[in-house]
Structure 1
């Protein structure tokens, strides 16, 4: 069933590659049957972590494995339950440091509403700690779209969308920004203790993912904002000297939309350079954009249209070997296509690769990319057959 797709991938790759030894090819997935919601993370040692969910009847298991020296470890279970909130866009994640896990997160339903759920975080300190709820409020509202990164050897930063102000909000009150979704954060240690909490923005888009990067200057978070005029462009805030800066727009797409598009940004950093990719539907035109900053994300010197033809979005980004890599989904001939494009650090387009015949439906989720000793890894949920399963590709 995979061979025709793999051949078409290689043909597309070879047609746009100047080096015959550069190939995008499918590799065996470490995830098992009925798997979905992959999340990839490469730590400071080059160890790749992948977390994912496997469902067995009513039970969901959050698993992870590591890739070292081109070999995957055995899959291990972080947590399992039948009460989780499993969502194509708001997926669990894992981070690591020094070759070991540092923390993982997932979402747990709570009584009170269809979208009432808590963020659960388990830190790793020789073993997985009991889960904590970082937002610590009791409202039956939405909490999710979390991003996290190591802050030190013993602590990590987490940011998430927090719906505590939306508690009891009626439909006609949706335009009242005093009852809007908020963006909050916390510093947490390996024992699962919350060191400090932050309010970053008091009015943000309800269900677009956040993205967190760390520069030499500090953390930077990108997310979709929400203004009184229902303009929902990408904003950023920088964490320096113990506090988050006043949020400001990354680029004025001026996308006015009175609903959440469920299509947030991705960000990565290398020294002074920060790169961010995002989807916009401003002026009725679907686009994936790439912004490049040379001053730690304070200003963006270049904003490039990556795809202004058939973009679906759901973008990811990474920086390595003085290149910027952007992935996104697009619609081609009534089917979905996963794209991977490289750019120089000043925004010059280099190469593009494509994996065709992928569903553009929500169940495909948000494809993930990261670096490894084998090149660039790609993971996504394949829903083309009766049972969903995570598929993996690598670009050598």
Structure 2
């Protein structure tokens, strides 16, 4: 197994790293959490997040300009029967026709992990939202989440999610807060068209990890989807399925044979980003002892040798990836320093060569940080995450980092 390590390069990069990025002023309200980012070429940077109060939860959005100035904000939806979770949370995608599509998670039964995806569309940049629909038709009181939305041409959106219909009636050892495993989960997909019709429903993998994030990217007319697989022997390595220009899905293939065998879901999925004809796939693993942040560059259906960004007992994972300058990529992840958690950002060139690693922010350890999200927009990196403000309250943090 060919492995390229960046330990020396990381040390040199940190030694000469610039100051932390610019913290953008943003008030998402009390008990604000689960932020995510999307880019609208015609309007700006779109931030979504959830808030909670005694009456329930709400999904909100704000439109920001290239300087991080808030242009406007609004409420997508709100309800008293939502599932709000640090690891499984909404995102928004801007389609090729500039429609916005987003979703939330709504309980379908009293069981903790019985919830459905509820998908909605705005054709005017958040001014009005369509009646929500559910892309899965199994009607089982099971888990449907960890979704990814991807523009699929025109007004079409590719939906991908983890689906628990096969777990109905199975024994569960799903611990509170998405930390352990339940019955068999599957990876499923469907396409939502302009008329909000659900097209091309498909089961892409009949056995996946139950609570690790999914991600997807588009290269030309091909769609690449990454997720954490689950073999019969409880090996949970990162897998990829690909949809070609004719709409045919490939069989699952392992991105790299880490051989991580674990009986419970680690709640630590992969990320993928595309830039031109190349994609970068990043993921965390404990296969060889301490946590490792690994990645490959994929071009023309072939993966580069696996490389590592950081290895150590202090590494937490929760990766995200985005495009970057000059055809390159960026990867973010959580680690730890002398006084607590650290959010890190690595930049790489188009071939996957490490250019720089920076400590972006000091964070509290644990779930209160949520899953930081990374976006490249008009020549800068944007990172957003959840911060604790004490007494059970949280707020949204956004930072802009120059290349």
TM-score over 0.5 (shorter chain): yes
Taking the aligned partners of 1:35 and 1:16, their CA distance within structure 2 comes to 34
CA contact (8 A) 1:43 1:98 kept: no
Partner of 1:111: 109
Structure 1 unpaired stretches of 5+: 1-11
Is 1:243 matched up with 2:248? yes
5 Å-filtered alignment, 1:63-78, equals: 63-70=60-67, 71-78=69-76
Partner of 1:285: 290
How far residue 294 of structure 1 moved from its aligned partner, in angstroms, is: 1.9
Partner of 2:331: 326
CA contact (8 A) 2:20 2:359 kept: no
Cα distance change, pair 14–290 in 1 and its aligned pair in 2 (3 A)? closer
CA contact (8 A) 1:272 1:294 kept: yes
Partner of 2:153: 152
How far residue 30 of structure 1 moved from its aligned partner, in angstroms, is: 5.0
- Equivalent in 263, 266, 269 of residue 271 of structure 2: 266
The answer to which of 378-387 and 95-104 deviates more is 95-104
Deviations 1:193-212 (A, max 9, x none): 21221110000001101001
Taking the aligned partners of 1:92 and 1:234, their CA distance within structure 2 comes to 22
Partner of 1:383: 388
Cα distance change, pair 330–46 in 1 and its aligned pair in 2 (3 A)? farther
Partner of 1:163: 164
Taking the aligned partners of 1:110 and 1:199, their CA distance within structure 2 comes to 21
- Give the alignment's Cα RMSD to 1 decimal: 2.2
CA contact (8 A) 2:96 2:151 kept: no
Taking the aligned partners of 1:357 and 1:320, their CA distance within structure 2 comes to 23
Partner of 2:50: 53
Taking the aligned partners of 1:276 and 1:91, their CA distance within structure 2 comes to 21
Cα distance change, pair 29–16 in 1 and its aligned pair in 2 (3 A)? farther
Partner of 1:121: 119
Partner of 1:81: 79
How far residue 23 of structure 1 moved from its aligned partner, in angstroms, is: 5.5
Cα distance change, pair 212–233 in 1 and its aligned pair in 2 (3 A)? same
| Runs (4+) off by over 3 Å | 12-15, 43-46, 97-101
How far residue 112 of structure 1 moved from its aligned partner, in angstroms, is: 4.5
CA contact (8 A) 2:44 2:63 kept: yes
CA contact (8 A) 1:43 1:99 kept: no
Q: Secondary structure at the match of 2:399?
A: strand
Deviations 1:312-370 (A, max 9, x none): 00000011222211100012225111000111122221111113430121121110111
- Equivalent in 381, 396, 399 of residue 393 of structure 1: 399
Deviations 1:173-206 (A, max 9, x none): xxxx9x6100000000244221221110000001
Q: How many residues align?
A: 375
Is 1:218 matched up with 2:222? yes
CA contact (8 A) 1:313 1:330 kept: yes
Cα distance change, pair 373–229 in 1 and its aligned pair in 2 (3 A)? same
CA contact (8 A) 1:123 1:190 kept: no
Q: Secondary structure at the match of 2:132?
A: coil
